[in-house]
Amino acid sequence: MKPESCILLTKLLKRHFIVMNHHHSIKEFDCRDPNAHNQIINYLKEIFRNQNYQLKKVSDLAQKIKKGVDGISPFLQQTTQIICPHCKDVCCISKHGYYNYEDLVYLYALNMKPPHYEFGREDTEPCQYLSGSGCTMERSVRPSGCNWYFCDSLLDHMEMKPEYDKFDDSLQDIASLWLAMMEEFAGISSSQIR
């Protein structure tokens, strides 16, 4: 990643952590724990059912994020299909295949639900969504840890491509939209956090 991108993302994330600190207890749940996962799901179902109108901006931002990820997906796909088959340390392991709190907010804002999970798998097992031809999930609804992770091999390959600058700009736009979505959600849901 180019240095200026790193600086921007660092600033964005710093702001994000300040905002999200209010939601620390609910946000820091262990996404591999089925009980904690179900509690978050119930909380989100309730808030999206009861405050659907107020959450319209959150949903609009989620739609823009989805469109943004769909937009960068072909470039990423072109890269992963060349680089990943030769990987000796595949990152699609079980511990990376879970949604965190923000991912679940995003899914509910899209009026979607997380797919069926098999909890209790070993962290180092292959991810339950991994198939012989890669991830079985549409990129825009994969856990954010999957979509924000670029190993050195991927980055080295992408940076040589003429499309890289456009991709980098789009990625920053998506990051800004994500932070805006979570800030908006935090503002509306804060009264419900106990």
Instruction: Decide: residue 147, CB within 10 A, 0-12 exposed, 13-18 middle, 19+ buried.
Output: buried
Q: At 131, which helix (H) or strand (E)?
A: strand 130-131
Give the span between the Cα atoms of 38 and 114, in whole angstroms.
11
Residue 2 beta carbon to ligand SF4: minimum distance, rounded to whole angstroms: 19
Positions in 25-84 near ligand SF4 (CB under 6 A) = 80, 83-84
**Tokens in use for 162?**
């003429």
Q: Count CB-CB contacts under 10 A for residue 93.
A: 16
Positions in 151-170 near ligand SF4 (CB under 6 A) = 151, 153-154
Alpha-carbon separation of residue 112 from 41, 108, 140, 141 (angstroms): 11, 5, 12, 9
Stretch that binds ligand SF4, among 2-10, 41-49, 86-94, 155-163 (CB under 6 A): 86-94
One of 65, 143, 171, 185 touching ligand SF4 (CB under 6 A): 143
Quick check: 91 binds ligand SF4 (CB under 6 A)?
yes
Quick check: 127 binds ligand SF4 (CB under 6 A)?
yes
Quick check: 87 binds ligand SF4 (CB under 6 A)?
yes
Quick check: 129 binds ligand SF4 (CB under 6 A)?
yes
**How many residues line the site for ligand SF4 (CB under 6 A)?**
21
Give the span between the Cα atoms of 72 and 119, in whole angstroms.
30
Strand-pair category, 130-131 with 134-135 = antiparallel
Quick check: 101 binds ligand SF4 (CB under 6 A)?
no
Residue 12 beta carbon to ligand SF4: minimum distance, rounded to whole angstroms: 22
Quick check: 130 binds ligand SF4 (CB under 6 A)?
yes
Give the span between the Cα atoms of 108 and 162, in whole angstroms.
36
Residue given tokens 């965190």 in the structure block: 100
Residue 150 beta carbon to ligand SF4: minimum distance, rounded to whole angstroms: 7
Residues in touch with ligand SF4 (CB under 6 A): 80, 83-84, 87, 89-92, 96-97, 127, 129-130, 135, 137, 142-143, 146, 151, 153-154
